[in-house]
Amino acid sequence: MLAVKSGKQVEFSPAAMDRAREIISRYPDGKQKSALLPLLHLVQDEFGNWLSVDSMDYIARLLHIQPIEVYEVATFYSMYNMQPVGRFLLEICHTGPCEIRGAEELISTLQNKLLIKVGETSADGMFTLKRVECLAACGYAPMLQCGMHYHEFLDSEEKIDRLLNDLRSKATQNN
């Protein structure tokens, strides 16, 4: 599971460090380990949307805990990516209520359009497809999560095309 070192020096920017300090200060004295999950989100967001061993070791030092305490938590929760992912991670819900409203059709359409299978990243490094369990959007199915946002009612090819095009143009604008 913990296959990859990032090869990069992991250290928070001053802004991220301020955020980290604010998070750590929320808990009673001696209970700073409570900051572990939020800090793993923060380091994942700051360093390429996945958790390298270097990132996890950095958080262990920040919280004065053993690296193994970070690894066991990071590998337990589904939101931490233990391998590099594309620019946009598309997480498609495939649990019951989404399935009966077309989750499998959404997945196969995305696979056909991006020429990748679930678990893979497109050749341009733009998209990674992942199946996830219930995201609490059952009434707005089929749907997927991409970063901050839920994209719901993805029940036609047209809507899926529009989403992919929007994401592609977002990537161009930011570059």
Partner 1 sequence: MSKKILLDKINIEGIKSFDVYRANGGYASVEKALKMAPNDVIEEVKKSGLRGRGGAGFPTGMKWSFLDKKSGRPKYLVCNADESEPGTFKDRYLMEFIPHLLIEGMIVSSFALEANLSFIYVRGEFRWIIKILEQAIAEAKRAGFLGKNILGTGYDLELVVQTGAGAYICGEETALLESLEGKRGLPRIKPPFPAVVGLYGMPTVVNNVESIAVVPWIVLNSGEEYAKVGTAKSAGTKLISACGNINKPGVYEIELGLPVEEFIFSEEYCGGIANGKRMKAVVAGGSSVPILPTELILKTAAGENRLMSYESLSDGGFATGTMLGSGGFIVYDEDQCIVRNTWNFARFYHHESCGQCSPCREGTGWMERILHSIENGHGKMSDIDLLWDVQRKIEGNTICPLGDAAAWPVASAIRHFREEFEWHVMEPKECMNRNYGLREKSIMSIA
DSSP type of residue 27: S
Structure tokens at 14: 């001053």
Least Å distance, CB 168 to partner 1, is 20
Instruction: Give the DSSP letter string of 57-116.
Output: HHHHHHHT--HHHHHHHHTTSTTS-SS---SEEEEEE-SHHHHTTTHHHHHHHHHHHHT-
Q: Select 64 or 175, whichever has its Cβ closest to partner 1.
A: 64
Task: Give counts: helices (H), strands (E), the chain.
Answer: 7, 4
Q: Select 53 or 70, whichever has its Cβ closest to partner 1.
A: 70
Least Å distance, CB 117 to partner 1, is 17
Binding site for partner 1 (CB under 8 A): 26-28, 31, 33-38, 40-41, 63, 69, 72-73, 76-80, 94-97, 99-102, 104-106, 108-109, 132-141, 145, 147-149, 155-157, 160
Least Å distance, CB 137 to partner 1, is 6
CA distances in angstroms from 60 to 55, 156, 162, listed in the order given: 9, 45, 41
Q: Select 12 or 80, whichever has its Cβ closest to partner 1.
A: 80
Strand, helix or coil at 132? Answer: strand
Strand partners, 127: 88
Q: Select 53 or 60, whichever has its Cβ closest to partner 1.
A: 60
Q: Select 125 or 147, whichever has its Cβ closest to partner 1.
A: 147
Least Å distance, CB 161 to partner 1, is 11
Least Å distance, CB 74 to partner 1, is 9
Element (H, E) at 120: none
